[in-house]
Structure 1
């Protein structure tokens, strides 16, 4: 198992605060300052966890340019105080960037039914009687 460096720990904290500010900004009726702060914290945390070079190669792959354009364009729209339009563009770009990841995540969630702890919490009966 790989060791987690101090920069990755800081990046994880920044991403956590970024997600918190994004959720809080949406709950407060799309407050553009909180959303912009959340976007900046999230992206800087991502760069600290993964690394600047790997982050840039992920966003600027040839087949992901459209998703990167919408995602980073949405971030810039939020920074320009157009929060609803920016979040819509960000979410569309997020879907384009991570569409290859969604089937794997769905299969993981569906396989979680076979975990004994979850089976005890959510018993399922297959009988129709």
Structure 2
């Protein structure tokens, strides 16, 4: 049986969700630095609430993840300094260095969702999905 979700984790999901919404709006609205800054802060706060402050610190500052952390936090700093497009490029690179190991798991999960799995199995899309997923993914 799974442990119950705490109130802090619920708050963390909400903060991270709002962070993604603000980041999306910041990119859509031609890299608005205010929205991107708020989105970054909300995402980091949501992550800290979701998994805990100590585990968040340990995740970002593992020795094999220093480069990803440097790019991710450096990108946030560049956005806060006023260069949103360059900062988001640097931040996205750091994000993929940090969370790249989760991409195959996320793709396999998305392949099991009824409508989305069908869309991801289309001929042109499945080639990209299989490369990102790290091998052959099947919709069985």
TM-score range, shorter chain: 0.7 to 0.9
Which entry has the higher C-alpha Rg, 1 or 2?
1
State the 1:73 CA deviation: 0.4
State the 1:8 CA deviation: 1.1
Give the aligned partner of residue 138 of structure 2: none
Distance 2:24 2:80 in 1: 16
Give the aligned partner of residue 66 of structure 1: 67
Q: Which secondary structure state, in structure 1, belongs to the residue aligned with residue 100 of structure 2?
A: coil
Give the aligned partner of residue 127 of structure 1: none
What TM-score results when the alignment is normalised by the length of structure 2?
Answer: 0.77
What TM-score results when the alignment is normalised by the length of structure 1?
Answer: 0.83
Give the aligned partner of residue 3 of structure 1: 4
Deviations along 1:57-79, one digit per CA (max 9) or x if unpaired, are 10011110000000010011111
Give the aligned partner of residue 80 of structure 2: 79
Give the aligned partner of residue 109 of structure 2: 108
Instruction: List runs of 5+ in structure 1 lacking aligned partners.
Output: 125-129
State the 1:11 CA deviation: 1.2
Deviations along 1:13-54, one digit per CA (max 9) or x if unpaired, are 111111111111111100000000010011001100100110
Distance 1:4 1:47 in 2: 15
State the 1:10 CA deviation: 1.1
Equivalences, count: 118
Q: Which secondary structure state, in structure 2, belongs to the residue aligned with residue 101 of structure 1?
A: helix
State the 1:90 CA deviation: 0.6
Query: Is 2:64 the counterpart of 1:26?
Result: no
Give the aligned partner of residue 99 of structure 1: 100
